[in-house]
Amino acid sequence: MSINEPGVRVTPKTDYLVIPREELEKPYRVIIENDDLTPMEFVVAVLQTFFRLNLEQAIEVMLKAHHEGKAYVTTLPLREAQERVYAAHSLAHSAGYPLTFHLEPEA
């Protein structure tokens, strides 16, 4: 029997992660992680572009991550934080840099 034959139904297996609306609105801390390959200027530009930090704030965050291994960037609702981190990761990875961020629930 072929999947092209009438009466044959193919149902793809898809797993979904259901996140309650309340969770999506909870504040999450965006944390940048240091790496030794991403240029500092690129990091500052990403912080300004995706996380709306001014130049002084972006440099301060970048230097803290550089010296301490990670740094707090901002606090956002989960969905917005995920979208911005995804966009930042996409740009960094397309440019060939391993820049990474992670999220932590606000205490």
Hey, where are the domains in the chain? 26-105
Structure confidence at residue 25 (pLDDT): 75
Under the banding of pLDDT at 50, 70 and 90, the label for residue 2 is very low
**Separation CA 35–CA 57 (nearest Å):** 19
**Separation CA 64–CA 67 (nearest Å):** 5
Q: Tens digits of per-residue pLDDT, 7-26?
A: 655 555 666 666 666 666 78
Is the pLDDT at 4 greater than 60, yes or no?
no
**Separation CA 5–CA 62 (nearest Å):** 59
DSSP state of 69: S
Kind and range of the H or E run holding 30: strand 27-33
Please state which architecture CATH assigns to domain 26-105.
2-Layer Sandwich (3.30)
Structure confidence at residue 68 (pLDDT): 98
Q: Tens digits of per-residue pLDDT, 69-104?
A: 999 999 999 999 999 999 999 999 999 999 999 999
Structure confidence at residue 107 (pLDDT): 81
Q: Among residues 90, 99, 84, which one has the least CA distance to residue 36?
A: 99
Is the pLDDT at 5 greater than 70, yes or no?
no
Segment 53-69 mean pLDDT: 98
